[in-house]
Amino acid sequence: MIKKILVANRGEIAVRIIRSCREMGIGTVAVYSDADRCALHVLYADEAWHIGPSPSVQSYLHIDNILAAARESGADAIHPGYGFLSENPEFPERCKEAGIIFIGPSSHAMSTMGDKIKARKTMTAAGVPVVPGTGDAITDELEALQVIREIGLPVMIKASAGGGGKGMRLVKREEEVRPGLRAARSEASTAFGDDAVFIEKYIESPHHIEFQILADQHGNIVQLFERECSVQRRHQKIVEETPSPILTPERRQQMGDAAVAAARAVNYEGAGTIEFIVDKDLNYYFLEMNTRLQVEHPITERVVGVDLVKEQIHIANGKPLALRQDELKQQGHAIECRVYAEDPENQFMPAPGRVTHIDIPYGVGVRVDGSIYEGFEIPLYYDPLIAKLIVWGKDRKEALERSRRALQEFKITGVKNNLRFLERIMHTAGFVEGDYTTHFIDDNEDTLMQDETCDEHCEDIVMISALMEYLRKIRKASPKEMTALKNNWKDYSRVRSVLKL
């Protein structure tokens, strides 16, 4: 039985995993880089080990350093979280060699599903529908044109090793094939060290709908229904909900069955997600499998009533699944909003910096998984996801109203963030009506993109933040510096008015 788990990750997911371990009475080991010395996961874990400098290649991606921390701390298992090493097939192998349990699937399942070309072949053999396209990697323009003439334009040229929305090119006309092929291959080579690309039919106005599965070591597999992830910016999700507003019970059943078949085809073990792209007629096609916990897993936890991290640990312990498919139900509705330290007005550029103030929403139906606190310096080295707001309501209407309420209460100052942008999504007609596709953000750019500084909601919080910053400065200031502060600091007069001086 696992007694101590090293979490090979950081941020909100490391904190989230540590919490489940604590509830199970399992010891926890955090690992951290230079930039994360004061990070929340370090403070939450029972013990914390330094694993290297700030760049992730020298720390969170450094297998030797992580295994050394596991050995020295006496951890008997490693949870990889998501991102970083979670989908690197070398990692489970290396854990095995070191006699440490890897909480996740086998290296074989990971490498089959991590290679989109291999995955497409395996799915086709298992009878799971894939997007029409090529069976093998394409290197040559003529070959590409031949395929395109068969399946028809538009198409996507995609990196076989792709992830995070990178290495994808939309091709609408034949003249775009040659530059598209070259660009996709070069991007794939830089981002993933593998320039293999393939061609897939571009599905117009699609939905991204994925199914959560759990598989134990004894051949039992269950599916825990879908998550609708069509609100995306640059092919990356920012809002997810379950149930999907568009699925019928019949289509849900068929897709759930296909997800189980997909997992069975690679002898899957652990928690995983089968992603599908769905067209307007509800035709569904396998996109890829994520062989790990997803960022958006909490909405499934809320609606189905499971703790997926605990399930992962039970599976790694060799226990048979206690969940039975015919007993699983979706209850109510859940929505997740991803809170990023980024600037929606400036092409969602990451905006690291020091958090000066944070108001976290509480109350019925609200869960916040986060990794920041007041005074925390968000490092520039990692993904700028800083918190997730997960709300539950008895139906979609209530979940939506609750999301709006919670977002209104949620305030972060000191760093640019997308909270007001998320709030506007919750008020935008397409989302309100549950009638949206992966083009939702682009289609609603005018409504969604507003100047944050003029936003009424922001006004008070900007003022409070200015006041706090001012108080912080004057606490340390000499009389001379005080004069300089008064003369130079643009918010001084606003602060005076707040204090009624």
CB of 347 to ligand ADP, least distance (A): 18
Asked if residue 107 lies in contact with residue 87, where contact means CB atoms within 8 angstroms, the answer is: no
Of 185, 208, 233, 302, the residue at the interface with ligand ADP (CB under 6 A) is 208
**Position 200 contacts ligand ADP (CB under 6 A):** yes
Q: Where does 39-89 have alpha helices with state H?
A: 40-44, 63-73
**Position 15 contacts ligand ADP (CB under 6 A):** no
Closer CB to ligand ADP, residue 86 or residue 232? 232
| Rounded (5°) CA angle 217-219-224 | 95
Asked if residue 154 lies in contact with residue 170, where contact means CB atoms within 8 angstroms, the answer is: yes
Of 148, 196, 277, 415, the residue at the interface with ligand ADP (CB under 6 A) is 277
| Stretch touching ligand ADP by CB under 6 A, among 39-47, 196-204, 326-334, 410-418 | 196-204
C-alpha 323/C-alpha 327 separation (Å) is 7
**Position 164 contacts ligand ADP (CB under 6 A):** yes
Of 74, 127, 152, 165, the residue at the interface with ligand ADP (CB under 6 A) is 165
**Active-site pick, 292, 338, 367, 402:** 292
Neighbours of 200 (CB within 10 A): 22
Question: What is the dihedral angle through the alpha carbons of 132, 264, 165, 417, rounded to the nearest 10 degrees?
Answer: 140
Closer CB to ligand ADP, residue 162 or residue 379? 162
Distances in Å between the Cα of 47 and the Cα atoms of 5, 102, 373 are 11, 19, 20
Asked if residue 66 lies in contact with residue 30, where contact means CB atoms within 8 angstroms, the answer is: no
CB of 277 to ligand ADP, least distance (A): 5
3 state SS of 289: strand
Beta bridge partners of 392: 334
**Position 232 contacts ligand ADP (CB under 6 A):** yes
Helices (H) and strands (E) in the chain — how many of each?
19, 22
| Stretch touching ligand ADP by CB under 6 A, among 157-165, 321-329, 330-338, 424-432 | 157-165
Of 89, 105, 206, 243, the residue at the interface with ligand ADP (CB under 6 A) is 206
Mask of contacts with ligand ADP, 56-95, x by CB under 6 A? ----------------------------------------
Closest of 448, 444, 163 to residue 294, by C-alpha? 163
Name every residue whose Cβ is closer than 8 Å to that of residue 413 and which is 6 or more positions away in sequence: 355, 356, 357, 358, 461, 462, 464, 465
| Stretch touching ligand ADP by CB under 6 A, among 101-109, 156-164, 387-395, 465-473 | 156-164
Number of residues that bind ligand ADP (CB under 6 A): 19
| Stretch touching ligand ADP by CB under 6 A, among 120-128, 160-168, 298-306, 474-482 | 160-168
Cβ burial 151-169 (10 Å sphere, 16+ → b, else e) = beeebbbbbbbbeeebbbb
DSSP 8-state class, residue 319: P
**Position 202 contacts ligand ADP (CB under 6 A):** yes
Closer CB to ligand ADP, residue 94 or residue 208? 208
C-alpha 480/C-alpha 331 separation (Å) is 63
Contacts of ligand ADP in 407-466 (CB under 6 A)? 438
**Position 365 contacts ligand ADP (CB under 6 A):** no
Provide the pairing of β-strand 47-52 with 155-159. Answer: unpaired
Of 53, 163, 352, 434, the residue at the interface with ligand ADP (CB under 6 A) is 163
**Position 131 contacts ligand ADP (CB under 6 A):** yes
| Stretch touching ligand ADP by CB under 6 A, among 65-73, 202-210, 391-399, 477-485 | 202-210
Two structure tokens written together for 469: 């910053």
| Rounded (5°) CA angle 468-469-474 | 100
**Position 203 contacts ligand ADP (CB under 6 A):** yes
DSSP 8-state class, residue 478: -
**Position 162 contacts ligand ADP (CB under 6 A):** yes
Asked if residue 225 lies in contact with residue 212, where contact means CB atoms within 8 angstroms, the answer is: yes
C-alpha 59/C-alpha 14 separation (Å) is 15
| Stretch touching ligand ADP by CB under 6 A, among 70-78, 162-170, 175-183, 189-197 | 162-170
252 carries an active-site annotation? no
Closer CB to ligand ADP, residue 34 or residue 279? 279
**Position 235 contacts ligand ADP (CB under 6 A):** yes
**Position 210 contacts ligand ADP (CB under 6 A):** no
Closer CB to ligand ADP, residue 438 or residue 444? 438
Of 287, 309, 358, 387, the residue at the interface with ligand ADP (CB under 6 A) is 287
Residues forming contacts to ligand ADP in the complex (CB under 6 A) are 131, 156, 162-166, 200, 202-203, 206, 208, 232, 235, 275, 277, 287-288, 438
Active site residue ranges = 292
